[in-house]
């Protein structure tokens, strides 16, 4: 009676439907693929168990019965607020294939670019993140360091927002990106306020002092001042 189905083929079919952006709630599958639904309930007992077997979260699928333009925008903005990489390839392969498929349908936005822009996001800026990998982030961080620029987060956000954003996405935090580049995060954070606290003349004189005796020399400087 069910020659077409096995547990494995049912799981593969459910995954294929999910990645194509099809609705997987019970009512939708009953209308579109009764054979699959019957096979699933025969082998798994319930449709929910079959969906979970396919590696999907049935509660999430049941919650969202259908995609609309408003729901697509809400989902994109939700992912953006979580600092998720929203480049097309990453969303398709790793984040939410169903969202990607729904967004690009002609009845919705027709393209991922249109969906992002409708969500108030800059498509070109997001697209650039595909060009960043761990090695490039580390290379750029070291180049900034070698050029003598301050690498505290506040300064980097004004100097190169793309780099620091990519670094946070690749390494979870700016702190970890600096550490991966072989730099001392604590020293970098403390260095900037210390320099700002010195007057211009004091900063130059202090920098020219030899490594030994800095404390006593600094004391002499304060007396001279």
**Collapsing DSSP states into helix, strand and coil, what is residue 174?**
helix
For residues 89 and 138, membership in a common domain is answered with no
CA 171 to chain centre: 10
On whether both 50 and 92 belong to a single domain, the answer is: no
| pLDDT over 70 (residue 87) | yes
Q: Tally the domains of the chain.
A: 3
CA atoms within a 13 Å half-sphere pointing along the CA-CB vector of 220: 8
DSSP 202-213: HHHHHHTS-STT
pTM assigned to the model: 0.40
pLDDT digit string, tens, across residues 27-59: 778 888 889 999 999 999 989 899 999 998 887
Domain end call among 63, 90, 108: 63
The answer for residues whose C-beta is within 8 angstroms of residue 84's C-beta and 6 or more apart is 90, 95
Q: Is residue 219 part of a domain?
A: no
Which among 122, 140, 167 is the end of a domain? 122
Report whether 20 contacts 101 (CB < 8 A). Answer: yes
Report pLDDT digits (tens) over 176-185. 999 999 998 8
Looking at the fold, whether 54 and 88 belong to one and the same domain comes out as no
97 shares a domain with 44: no
Q: Binning pLDDT at 50, 70 and 90, where does residue 1 land?
A: very low
Same domain for 185 and 141? yes
Domain residues for the domain of 93 are 69-122
> Is 127 contained in some domain?
no
CA-closest candidate to residue 123, choices 87, 169, 79: 87
Pair 24, 77 in one domain: no
The answer to whether residues 48 and 97 belong to one domain is no
Q: Are residues 15 and 48 in the same domain?
A: yes
């Amino acid at each position: 009676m069910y020659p077409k189905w096995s547990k494995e083929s049912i799981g593969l079919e459910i995954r294929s439907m999910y990645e194509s952006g099809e609705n997987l709630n019970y009512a939708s599958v009953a209308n579109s693929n009764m054979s699959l639904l019957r096979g699933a309930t025969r082998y798994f007992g319930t449709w929910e168990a079959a969906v979970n077997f396919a590696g999907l979260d049935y509660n999430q699928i049941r919650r969202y019965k259908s995609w609309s333009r408003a729901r697509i925008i809400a989902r994109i903005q939700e992912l953006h607020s979580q600092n998720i990489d929203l480049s097309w390839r990453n969303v398709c392969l790793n984040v939410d294939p169903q969202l990607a498929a729904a967004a690009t349908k002609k009845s919705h936005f027709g393209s991922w670019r249109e969906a992002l822009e409708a969500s108030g996001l800059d498509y070109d800026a997001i697209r650039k993140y595909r060009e960043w990998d761990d090695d490039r982030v580390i290379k750029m961080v070291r180049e900034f360091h070698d050029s003598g620029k301050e690498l505290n987060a506040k300064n980097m956000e004004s100097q190169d927002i793309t780099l620091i954003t990519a670094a946070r996405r690749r390494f979870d935090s700016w702190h970890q990106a600096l550490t991966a580049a072989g730099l001392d995060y604590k020293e970098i954070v403390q260095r900037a306020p210390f320099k700002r606290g010195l007057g211009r003349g004091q900063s130059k004189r202090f920098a020219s002092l030899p490594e030994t005796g800095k404390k006593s020399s600094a004391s002499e400087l304060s007396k001279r001042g």
